[in-house]
């Protein structure tokens, strides 16, 4: 089920790391729809991996590959240790979060505030590169607060690429750390795609992926005229089936029989059964399935049945099958 493409080829289209959304259950769903799109975990902090239940945080299904582990943190030694854990667990890539618009946490800085410390990010990248053989990448913003000049961004790219990072994912917005919530930071700062294109033009030797406000494969294809990869986020969560043509249109793989939405759910049932045997509540899985029939006849009945029944004590595979029977086959 996983991709046969090279790692770099799989980067042409990816699905962003999204906290509380891109867990292993949602990623498994996406892999039933696209074999080749690169998938990302939710961000995992270095403190959680070093001091918490690392098996739970790193657990995934081999069917999810290609799959990147996103880390949050800034301590180079801890990042290196966590990168090794990720490689040992089978991940295809280690990604450092320098884009999340959160302030400091107890274990140190992480996210967009690190843009102000490019040398520290560079140290972290170098430490991870020395610790693993898989790619180490950085996801970042265009700037933070008043520091939003092109020169600020190039200074960051210069420092981090000198440490060995040759793959950058640029969210085409700056982050306001003062005054805007993480949610507001996803929409309020204006998009500046041209600046991302400019970076690719000035750094042709680097692999540049673009992220932010991309809602369709058509939009992704437009960006791919100027950069190396496009990363979709919330649009995929709310309508996972929009990836159904990705393997053919983005990755130029000969189309096999594309699964219908019904086929995707039928293929998901054995996985759901297995996960429930492991103790996963049905509602924790089905919440990721609600958008699959977006815009289709019966989509509301599908969502309502799962929302009203997946949490009940006797909920199981039959609950999903009953919901599926309420949706018209098209």
Annotated catalytic residues are: 100
**The two structure tokens encoding residue 177:** 């750390």
Count CA within 13 A, CB hemisphere, residue 303: 14
Cα separation values, 54 from 48, 65, 328, Å: 7, 19, 42
Token pair recorded at residue 14: 């990816």
Strand, helix or coil at 268? helix
DSSP 164-178: T--EEEEESS-B-TT
Radius of gyration of the chain, Cα coordinates, nearest whole angstrom: 20
**Contacts of 216 by beta carbon, 8 Å cutoff, 6+ apart:** 235, 242
| Helix, coil or strand: residue 265 | helix
**Is residue 271 packed enough to be buried (19+ CB in 10 Å), middle (13-18) or exposed (0-12)?**
middle
> What tokens were used for 121?
């990010």
Distance CA 60, CA 70 (A): 14
- The structure tokens 């949706």 sit at 327
């Amino acid at each position: 089920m996983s991709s046969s493409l090279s790692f770099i080829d799989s980067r042409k289209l990816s699905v962003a790391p999204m906290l509380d959304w891109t867990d292993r259950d949602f990623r498994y769903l996406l892999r039933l729809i696209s074999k080749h799109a690169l998938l990302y975990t939710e961000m995992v902090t270095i403190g959680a991996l070093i001091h918490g239940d690392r098996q739970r945080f790193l657990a995934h299904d081999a069917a999810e590959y290609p799959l990147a582990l996103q880390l949050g943190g800034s301590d180079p030694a801890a990042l290196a240790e966590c990168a090794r854990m990720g490689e040992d667990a089978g991940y295809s890539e280690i990604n450092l979060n320098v884009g999340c618009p959160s302030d400091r946490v107890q274990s140190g800085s992480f996210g967009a505030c690190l843009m102000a410390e490019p040398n520290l990010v560079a140290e972290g990248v170098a430490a991870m590169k020395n610790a693993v053989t898989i790619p180490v990448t950085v996801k970042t913003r265009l700037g933070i607060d008043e520091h939003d000049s092109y020169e600020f961004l190039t200074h960051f790219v210069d420092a981090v690429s000198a440490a060995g990072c040759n793959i950058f994912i640029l969210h085409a917005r700056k982050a306001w750390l003062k005054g805007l919530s993480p949610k507001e930071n996803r929409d309020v700062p204006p998009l500046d795609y041209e600046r991302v294109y400019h970076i690719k033009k000035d750094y042709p030797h680097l692999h540049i992926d673009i992220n932010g406000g991309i809602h369709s494969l058509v939009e992704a294809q437009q960006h791919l005229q100027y950069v190396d990869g496009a990363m979709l986020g919330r649009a995929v969560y709310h309508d996972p089936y929009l990836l159904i043509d990705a393997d053919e249109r983005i990755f130029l793989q000969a189309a096999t029989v594309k699964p219908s939405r019904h086929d995707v759910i039928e293929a998901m049932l054995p996985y759901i059964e297995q996960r429930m045997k492991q103790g996963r509540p049905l509602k924790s899985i089905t919440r990721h399935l609600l958008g699959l029939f977006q815009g289709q006849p019966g989509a509301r009945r599908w969502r309502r049945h799962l929302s009203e029944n997946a949490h009940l004590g006797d909920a199981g595979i039959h609950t999903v099958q009953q919901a599926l029977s309420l949706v018209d086959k098209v």
